[in-house]
Structure 1
Amino acid sequence: MEIDGKRVPKDKKEAYSDTWDNVYPITTGEHTLTVTYRMAGHYTQPTKIMFDAKANINYQLDFATDIGTAWFSKNSYVDFWIKDKATEKPVTEVVQTAPPPEPRVISYPIIINN
C-alpha cells in the first residue's frame, strides 16, 4: 500500500490488490513498507515491515497465510517478509498480521415492487 509513507502508484482503474506483481524502484538505505493482504473479500489489517535495501539487489515481498481456509478463526494470519530474489533468502524477520477482530457487516438493499 505504501513505501516510506507514500501511496504505491497505481492506475486510476486498478485496485491496490491489482498491484501485487508491479516492480517499484527504491533507493539504497532503510525503507518502511505498509502492506496488507486482500483476496476474494478476505483482508488483513495494514502492517509495517522495515528493511535496509542494498545496491544492485532485487527484493520481493513474500507471504504465507491460512486465510481462506480458516476465515475468522482464532488462528487466521498472514506472515509477510522480504527476500533477496537472487538467493531466495529472507532479508527481514517475519511480520504477522491478521483479519480485523470482528467481521464486517454487509447489508444489501431489498426492493419490493408492488
Structure 2
Amino acid sequence: MELNRSVASARVAFLRVAAIVSSTTGVPVAEILERQRCGRPNRRRDSPVSFARLAATYLTVTACNIRQASLARMLGRHRRRILFDVRFIEDARERFDIDQLFERMEAML
C-alpha cells in the first residue's frame, strides 16, 4: 500500500512540475510525458524535449522531495537513470543562464 502511495505522489508531483517546465521552455506537456524509446532523436540531451524531461525529473526529485526510486517506478525507468539525470542537471546548473532558468522554475513551485 505504501508503495502505491509513493508512486501516486510521484505522479502528481511530476505532472505539476511538467506543467511548469512546459510553460517555461515551450515544450508541450504531452512531449515531456511521452515515454522515451531507444533510438529516437529526442534522446539526445541537447534537444529541447530531452532537456525538458531532464528538468522535470530534476525538479521533481529536488524541489518536490520525491524519492528517486518512486519516480523511477512511475516513469518505468531504472532508479540509476534518474540519478544520472539529476547529476546531469546539477552539472548543467554551473552555467549562469541554466541556473537562472531553474531558479525561476523553482520559484513557481
TM bucket (normalised to shorter chain) is under 0.3
Q: Which has the larger radius of gyration?
A: 1
Q: TM-score, normalised by structure 1?
A: 0.22
Q: TM-score, normalised by structure 2?
A: 0.23
Decide which structure has greater helix share.
2
Which structure has the higher relative contact order (CA within 8 Å, separation 6+)? 2
